[in-house]
């Protein structure tokens, strides 16, 4: 076999850790329609996407922007977070959750994960509250609901704001409804590894009209129209683009199909992993309405296992490092539960465009790992 053939062989047979699709016929048609109508920058297509996202999430308001990270920043700005404030953030999350308050000059106060779930341990929140605490940012990791009843009760008792980071939890529900809609503001990502994607993109939802109005102004340098506005408040250019919103509309139409696929993939892995003693699925409450975005597992012998899988063309993604390891966030201390998740956690191949045959291939390689002598 020539070196080129060998390369093709690898490419064809590798199973990526995540596979999505954002260029189906509907996406392409919507994109061309937007371009033909010269809807390129933020305009009517973005407005339509916002209306449809709000309806799908059962909230009055949605504001689209360039990423989930910017959605978090805008939400905190709209709620008046700034210097001298403390914001409680989980130690186990993507660092975007912490960088939003950090960019605004607030102090980020980290809270450990639960022993059995990577989500924040709500029972530890109260001892972290000080007179400077202004907000709590629960993160619904991989579609798993943080106990919002408990967070809201604490927030009411201490007069705190709550901003949900639901970047990994689009269309996940708890008993009260959609995650991301149960606080002052909820933030979502439309990045590549999310349920729906526009390549880059994100949005904020809120039930508060005052927050909605501030979000719209913050997104456009503090004015409705930069040519006629009088710049009475701060803001920036956080505008979305109609070309990406067009893709977003086509993606949104695929929401139910994607949720069903994610649940099928999760159920198949759950069944297979029950027979594999070296790896444990971190559960998602599918029966309760949660959507398992990724297939997250714990594996104490992670390095050996990942190497075995990679040598057989199965790609995985390791859990990201804990936030207390980032010196600029200035949080020392012990975070034993999130540390365990960061050392043992990984994601197995999944995603809207990953086929069930590819899932079977991964399971076959995992079984061979178990049976190796
Ligand atoms: C929990 C969480 N918050 C925020 C973000 C940031 O979203 P984006 O990548 O769209 O900026 C992500 C992205 O992975 C995330 O997982």
Give the pLDDT confidence score for residue 64 in this predicted structure.
Answer: 98
Q: What is the pLDDT along the chain (373 residues), one digit of tens a residue?
A: 455 555 544 455 699 999 999 989 999 999 999 999 999 999 999 999 999 999 999 999 999 999 999 999 999 999 999 999 999 999 999 999 999 999 999 999 999 999 999 999 999 999 999 999 999 999 999 999 999 999 999 999 999 999 999 999 999 999 999 999 999 999 999 999 999 999 999 999 999 999 999 999 999 999 998 899 899 889 999 999 999 999 999 999 999 999 999 999 999 999 999 999 999 999 999 999 999 999 999 999 999 999 999 999 999 999 999 999 999 999 888 999 999 999 999 999 999 999 999 999 999 999 999 999 7
Angle at 73 between CA 106 and CA 201, to 5 degrees: 155
Q: What is the CATH number of the domain that holds 244?
A: 3.40.640.10
Number of domains in the chain: 2
Any atom of ligand 1 within 6 Å of the Cβ of 165? yes
What is the 153 CA–ligand 1 centroid distance (Å)? 26
Q: Are residues 169 and 35 in the same domain?
A: yes
Angle at 260 between CA 255 and CA 266, to 5 degrees: 125
Q: Are residues 66 and 152 in the same domain?
A: yes
Any atom of ligand 1 within 6 Å of the Cβ of 136? no
Asked whether residue 201 is domain-assigned, the answer is yes
Give the pLDDT confidence score for residue 2 in this predicted structure.
Answer: 52
Give the pLDDT confidence score for residue 9 in this predicted structure.
Answer: 46
> Considering the entire predicted model, what is its pTM?
0.96
User: CA-to-CA distance for 110 and 322, rounded, in angstroms?
Assistant: 10
Give the pLDDT confidence score for residue 373 in this predicted structure.
Answer: 72
Q: Are residues 10 and 117 in the same domain?
A: no
User: CA-to-CA distance for 64 and 215, rounded, in angstroms?
Assistant: 10
Any atom of ligand 1 within 6 Å of the Cβ of 198? no
Domain boundary among 191, 224, 252: 252
Q: Are residues 127 and 160 in the same domain?
A: yes
Q: What is the CATH number of the domain that holds 297?
A: 3.90.1150.10
Domain containing 131: what range? Answer: 25-252
Tokens representing 359? Answer: 């899932």
What is the 140 CA–ligand 1 centroid distance (Å)? 11
Asked whether residue 19 is domain-assigned, the answer is no
To test the ligand 1 pocket, which listed residue (101, 168, 185, 198) has its Cβ within 8 A of the most ligand atoms?
A: 168
What does the DSSP 8-state code read for residue 223?
Answer: S
Q: Are residues 91 and 176 in the same domain?
A: yes
Give the pLDDT confidence score for residue 100 in this predicted structure.
Answer: 98
Reference 144, options 298, 368, 309, 294; nearest CA is: 294
Q: Are residues 64 and 77 in the same domain?
A: yes
Give the ligand 1 atom nearest the CA of 139. Answer: 1
């Amino acid at each position: 076999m020539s070196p080129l053939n060998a390369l093709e062989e690898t490419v064809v047979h590798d199973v990526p850790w995540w596979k999505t699709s954002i260029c189906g016929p509907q996406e392409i048609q919507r994109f061309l329609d937007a371009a033909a109508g010269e809807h390129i920058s933020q305009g009517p297509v973005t407005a339509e996407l916002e209306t449809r996202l709000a309806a799908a999430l059962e909230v009055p308001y949605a504001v689209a922007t360039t990423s989930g990270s910017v959605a978090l920043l805008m939400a905190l700005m709209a709620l008046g977070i700034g210097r001298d404030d403390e914001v409680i953030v989980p130690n186990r999350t993507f660092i975007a959750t912490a960088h939003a308050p950090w960019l605004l000059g607030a102090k980020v106060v980290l809270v450990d994960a639960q022993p059995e779930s990577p989500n924040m341990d709500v029972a530890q929140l109260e001892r972290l509250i000080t007179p400077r605490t202004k907000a709590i940012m629960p993160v619904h990791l991989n579609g798993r609901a943080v106990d919002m009843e408990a967070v809201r009760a604490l927030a009411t008792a201490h007069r705190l704001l709550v901003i949900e980071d639901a970047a990994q939890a689009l269309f996940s529900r708890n008993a009260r409804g959609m995650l991301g809609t149960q606080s002052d503001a909820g933030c979502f990502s439309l990045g590549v590894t999310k349920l729906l994607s526009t390549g880059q993109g994100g949005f904020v939802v809120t039930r508060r009209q005052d927050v909605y109005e501030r979000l719209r102004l913050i997104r456009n340098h503090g004015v409705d129209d930069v040519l006629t506005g009088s710049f009475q408040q701060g803001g920036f250019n956080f505008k979305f683009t109609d070309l990406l919103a067009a893709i977003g509309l086509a993606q949104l139409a695929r929401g139910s199909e994607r949720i069903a696929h994610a649940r099928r993939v999760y159920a198949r892995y759950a069944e297979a992993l029950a027979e594999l003693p070296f790896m444990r699925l971190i559960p998602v409450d599918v029966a309760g309405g949660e959507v398992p975005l990724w297939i997250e597992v714990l594996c104490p012998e992670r390095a050996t296992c990942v190497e075995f899988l990679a040598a057989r063309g199965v790609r995985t993604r390791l859990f990201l490092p804990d936030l207390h390891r980032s010196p600029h966030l200035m949080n020392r201390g012990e975070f034993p539960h999130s540390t365990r998740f960061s050392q043992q956690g990984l994601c197995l191949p999944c995603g809207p465009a990953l086929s069930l045959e590819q899932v079977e291939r991964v399971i076959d390689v995992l079984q061979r790992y178990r049976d190796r002598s």
